[in-house]
């Protein structure tokens, strides 16, 4: 069985959604974990308690990574190291989705999205890489992308661009850091049910439409991302570098979905 015993991980944005699924999967795989969120809350306490129930050390740090990059990255890095000095796994999960139609996009929304989704992962990885290189430690980095880094949507231009950048960060940081024994990979969820995608549960017609666009016909919860994340940062993936694992039910491989059966019958 793949396990992460002996490792310590920081997962940004890990009080809910995909980040929570990953940090809890890490804990139950044996890793000590640092949970990160913008503020302390009942959610952060719940995640802490659940991770500690796995018998590992779990700590919480707070910080808003959408703020001025040079300041917030330094603060999150320093706080994470202070509570868990031996961190050797970084998961850049914190992100935002606040798009509007392209012709209505404003610089403030665009800049906030890019700071959180691209700038913070880029420079937080740099902080940890410098520390690992100085300590001659083998680090592991996991970037959390999205199906939107592969397939575009007309009203999500900013989010799509940011996740496309994350997909290229996986490759460019891989070739930059692999010589220092630092592995960089990525995990890209398709549509999963999280607080950011609450419309899925609120609109049954929309959920049916998205299931139609997914080969396996499912819109699962974020827990489907946990095992893949564990694998990518584990010793079992020691020769896996620069790879973006699509956890999308096959959506990224489907040129266009089949017509619903009743449409096909109507055309027959």
| Residue 207 confidence (pLDDT) | 72
- pLDDT tens for 39-93 read 889 999 999 999 999 999 999 999 999 999 999 999 999 999 999 999 999 999 9
Collect the ranges in the chain with pLDDT lower than 70: 195-201, 258-268
- Alpha-carbon distance of 268 to 266, in angstroms, equals 6
Residue ranges of domains in the chain, CATH in brackets: 8-267 (3.40.50.720)
Q: Are 186 and 245 in contact (CB under 8 A)?
A: yes
97 tagged catalytic: no
Catalytic residue among 110, 122, 159, 180: 159
3-state helix, strand, coil in the chain (%, to 5): 50, 15, 35
Residues of the chain with pLDDT > 70: what percent? 93
Task: HSE, CB side, 13 Å, CA atoms: give it for residue 124.
Answer: 36
| Residue 191 confidence (pLDDT) | 83
Q: Are 65 and 94 in contact (CB under 8 A)?
A: yes
């Amino acid at each position: 069985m793949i396990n992460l015993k002996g490792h310590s991980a920081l997962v940004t944005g890990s009080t809910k959604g995909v980040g929570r699924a990953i940090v809890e999967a890490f804990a139950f795989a044996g890793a000590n974990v640092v949970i990160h969120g913008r503020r302390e809350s009942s959610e952060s306490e719940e995640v802490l308690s659940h991770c500690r129930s796995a018998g590992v050390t779990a700590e919480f740090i707070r910080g808003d990574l959408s703020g001025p990059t040079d300041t917030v990255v330094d603060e999150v890095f320093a706080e994470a190291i202070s509570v868990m000095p031996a961190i050797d796994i970084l998961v850049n999960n914190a992100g935002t989705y606040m798009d509007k139609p392209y012709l209505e996009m404003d610089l403030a929304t665009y800049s906030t999205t890019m700071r959180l989704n691209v700038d913070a992962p880029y420079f937080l990885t740099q902080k940890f890489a410098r520390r690992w290189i100085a300590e001659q430690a083998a680090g592991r980095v996991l970037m959390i992308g999205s199906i939107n880094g592969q397939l575009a949507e007309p009203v999500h231009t900013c989010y799509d661009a940011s996740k496309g950048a994350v997909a290229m960060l996986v490759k460019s940081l891989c070739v930059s850091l692999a010589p220092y024994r630092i592995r960089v990979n990525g995990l890209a969820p398709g549509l999963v049910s999280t607080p950011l995608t609450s419309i899925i549960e609120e609109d049954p017609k929309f959920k049916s439409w998205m299931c139609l666009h997914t080969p396996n016909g499912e819109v699962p919860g974020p827990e489907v991302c946990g095992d893949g994340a564990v694998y990518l940062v584990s010793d079992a993936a020691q020769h896996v570098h620069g790879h973006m694992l699509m956890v999308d039910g096959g959506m990224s491989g489907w040129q266009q979905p089949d017509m619903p059966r009743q449409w096909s019958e109507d055309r027959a």
